[in-house]
């Protein structure tokens, strides 16, 4: 078997893996990122199809990524910001809300000033004095202050409130602030921006390169085995540190469960709650809604948000075409009736976009990201694991090991940066 040596090997070229790899390569570590798919980026990427840039998951990028990740790496951040940043569909009508105080404004529209006062008072106390417990869901915490379903529906347009913990939601508000977003001119371009940092600092990113085993010796990770050319060619990659961006269950499969501490396995099984989600992307001759902003849909059958990034980024579609993303939360446990979910999403779209039947030309893509290898998130925020595993020098990054207060692509990227910082504090380049 062919052998190669590196300081760090990263399994998976998602946002967490590429972020970790970029910071380490920039720090002077001989870094290799391996990705089994023919493209990089995971859920934050895109694929060209019939002249469209079809998202593999996300449609919007948290603006905090620029200062925390892209600027420190010297990587281009080609994102356009809609104004207003958010709108809400409440009681059958679209409403603009101010960037500052938008949650209060949305609750006021839905339920009135008294309801808004109650919720904001509870939030202020949680933010300034004492966070709620991590053992209670956001919904159950809110039910202490209101049972108004319209109020709960406003908050549920942001979070899956029966799954996200109350503590995680409060920490997100503290850390991520107003949740401002923008649209990338190219998702794959944003991921290549990070990959280029790795390459320009002597590292490498390999696609169509599948990790088949993490090598563990005497309780520590020593490298990985990969296959290329449809599994016909096997290579051993020796290294000092292994970073996994394939989710905790995938990491355990690669390293073999018997190598992990029993407490770690128990914690993983108790903590990880895969976050299923669905997005319908439709093509139209004109925008379905008049706003380019992220539109939070309150009180719909299944849809939680909608956006048309082609209003700001026409590069994402052929001339004269628009793509609208219609996102819906999916219940956490099977069985799932996927045809029914799609039908309900389209019914919702006809409500908040009366032009739907007139303008929509085709359904470009339907993504059901459930419990397989590619869920929307590997775990709901508030149900994360530590980034260090019980195997020495084996880390997880990505959307199951968010740093407290983060979520989404931003959170996945921060997990990579945190792991890179820990590696740099413990291991010198060239020690492998």
Chain segment 255-280, per-residue pLDDT in tens: 999 999 999 999 999 988 888 889 99
Q: Percent of the chain scored above 90 by pLDDT? A: 83
Average pLDDT over residues 288-298: 94
Element (H, E) at 89: strand 86-90
pLDDT at residue 431 greater than cutoff 60: no
Mean pLDDT of 76-95: 95
Q: Is the pLDDT of residue 200 over 70?
A: yes
What is the pLDDT, as a whole number, of residue 424? Answer: 98
What is the reported pLDDT for 353? 96
Q: What are phi and psi of 83, to 5 degrees?
A: -130, 130
pTM for this predicted structure: 0.95
Q: Does residue 161 surpass a pLDDT of 70? A: yes
**Looking at residue 360, what is its pLDDT?**
97
Mean pLDDT across the chain, nearest whole number? 94
Cβ distance 22 to 75 under 8 Å? yes
The pLDDT assigned to 211 comes to: 97
Is residue 181 within 8 Å of residue 61, measured between CB atoms?
yes
In this structure, how many other beta carbons lie within 10 angstroms of the beta carbon of residue 304?
A: 21
Answer yes or no: are the C-beta atoms of 12 and 191 closer than 8 Å.
no
CA distance 421 to 417: 6
Kindly report the number of other CB atoms within 10 A of residue 230's CB atom.
Answer: 8
What is the predicted pLDDT for the residue at 372?
A: 59
Please provide residue 309's backbone torsions phi and psi, each rounded to the nearest 5 degrees: -65, -20
Q: What is the pLDDT of residue 403?
A: 87
Task: Supply angle C-alpha 423, 429, 431, rounded to 5.
Answer: 95
**Which residues in 356-382 are b (16+ Cβ under 10 Å) and which e?**
beebbeeebbebbbbeeebbbbbbbbb
**pLDDT at residue number 432:** 47
Q: Could you tell me which of 410, 2, 1, 11 has the C-alpha nearest to residue 241?
A: 11
Strands 360-369 and 394-396: unpaired
Query: Could you tell me what percent of the chain has a pLDDT over 70?
Result: 98
Question: Which of the four pLDDT bands, split at 50, 70 and 90, describes residue 370?
Answer: confident
pLDDT at 25: 98
Please give the pLDDT value at position 209.
96
Q: What average pLDDT does range 308-322 have in this prediction?
A: 97
Strands of 146-273, DSSP E? 181-184, 204-206, 210-217, 220-228, 233-238, 241-244
Residue 396: pLDDT band (50, 70, 90) is: very high
Residue 91 clears pLDDT 60, i.e. is over it: yes
Query: Does 13 have pLDDT greater than 80?
Result: yes
Which tens digit of pLDDT belongs to each residue from 242-258? 999 999 999 999 999 99
Which pLDDT does position 379 carry in this prediction?
84
């Amino acid at each position: 078997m062919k052998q190669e040596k590196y300081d760090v090997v990263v399994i998976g070229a998602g946002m967490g893996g590429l972020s970790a790899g970029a910071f380490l390569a920039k720090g002077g570590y001989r870094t290799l990122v391996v990705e089994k798919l023919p493209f990089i980026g995971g859920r934050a990427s895109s694929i060209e199809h019939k002249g469209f840039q079809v998202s593999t998951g996300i449609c919007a990028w948290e603006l905090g990524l620029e200062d925390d990740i892209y600027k420190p790496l010297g990587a281009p951040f080609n994102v356009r910001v809609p104004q207003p940043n958010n709108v809400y569909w409440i009681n059958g009508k679209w409403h603009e809300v101010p960037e500052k105080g938008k949650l209060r404004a949305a609750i006021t529209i839905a339920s009135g000033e008294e309801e808004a006062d109650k919720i904001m008072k509870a939030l202020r106390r949680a933010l300034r004095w004492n966070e709620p417990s991590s053992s209670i869901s956001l919904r159950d915490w809110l039910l202490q202050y209101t049972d108004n379903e319209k109020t709960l529906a406003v908050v549920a347009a942001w979070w899956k409130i029966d799954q996200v913990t109350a503590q995680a939601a409060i920490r997100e508000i503290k850390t991520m602030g107003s949740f401002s977003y923008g649209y990338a001119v190219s998702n794959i371009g944003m991921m290549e921006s990070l990959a280029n940092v790795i390459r320009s600092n002597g590292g490498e990113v390999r696609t169509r390169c599948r990790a088949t085993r993490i090598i563990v010796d005497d309780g520590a990770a020593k490298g990985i085995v990969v296959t290329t050319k449809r599994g016909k060619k096997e290579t051993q990659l020796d290294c000092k540190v292994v970073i996994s961006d394939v989710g905790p269950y995938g990491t355990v499969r690669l390293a073999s469960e018997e190598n992990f501490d029993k407490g770690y396995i128990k914690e993983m099984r108790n903590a990880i709650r895969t976050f299923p989600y669905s997005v319908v992307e439709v093509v139209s001759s004109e925008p379905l809604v008049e706003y380019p902003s992220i539109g939070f849909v309150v009180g719909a059958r299944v849809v939680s948000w909608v956006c048309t990034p082609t209003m700001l980024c026409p590069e994402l579609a052929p001339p004269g075409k628009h793509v609208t993303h219609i996102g819906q939360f999916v219940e956490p446990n099977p069985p799932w009736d996927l045809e029914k979910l799609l039908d309900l999403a389209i019914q919702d779209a006809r409500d908040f976009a009366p032009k739907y039947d007139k303008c929509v030309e085709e359904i470009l893509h339907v993504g059901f990201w459930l419990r397989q290898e590619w869920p929307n998130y590997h775990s709901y925020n508030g149900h994360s694991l530590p980034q260090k595993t019980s195997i020495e020098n084996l880390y997880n990054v990505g959307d199951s090991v968010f740093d407290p207060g983060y979520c989404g692509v931003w959170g996945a990227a921060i997990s990579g940066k945190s792991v890179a910082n820990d590696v740099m504090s413990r291991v010198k380049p060239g020690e492998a």
